[in-house]
Amino acid sequence: MSMDSKREKYFLYNTLSILLKAVEKTRTTVDLRNEATIDGIIENADAYMNIVMKDCVFTDPRGDSFKYDMFFVQARNIRSVHVPMNVSTSSKSCSLL
C-alpha cells in the first residue's frame, strides 16, 4: 500500500485503523451501521478505515444473503470489525513498509 500523504500515514499509525491492517488477508465479519453484516476476506484497508473485501457474503437487516466477488465499505458505514482470535497484533504482522 502506498501512502498518499503524510496525513494518511499519521492516521494509520495513530488510530485504530492499524488493527485493520493486522486483519488484512484474513476472513472476518464487518458489522454495518444499518444492522447489515459482511463476511469475507479483507483485501485492503486504508488509513481512513475504508475497506475492500473479496469473496463476501452480504447479509441485509432482514436476513437475506447475497454473494459478491468484491465489496467496498466506506468507513462511515462501519459499526464494528470482528478481529479473529488467530490474528497476531505484534509489530511483525503490522509491518507496512
**Highest CATH level, class, for 6-81:** mainly beta
> What gap in Å lies between CA 66 and CA 63, rounded to an integer?
10
For residue range 7-61, what is the model confidence (pLDDT) as tens digits?
888 878 888 888 888 889 999 999 999 999 999 999 999 988 999 999 999 999 9
- The answer to whether residue 6 scores a pLDDT higher than 90 is no
> What gap in Å lies between CA 83 and CA 61, rounded to an integer?
22
Higher-pLDDT residue of 94 and 29 is 29
The pTM for the full model equals: 0.79
Domain boundaries, the chain: 6-81
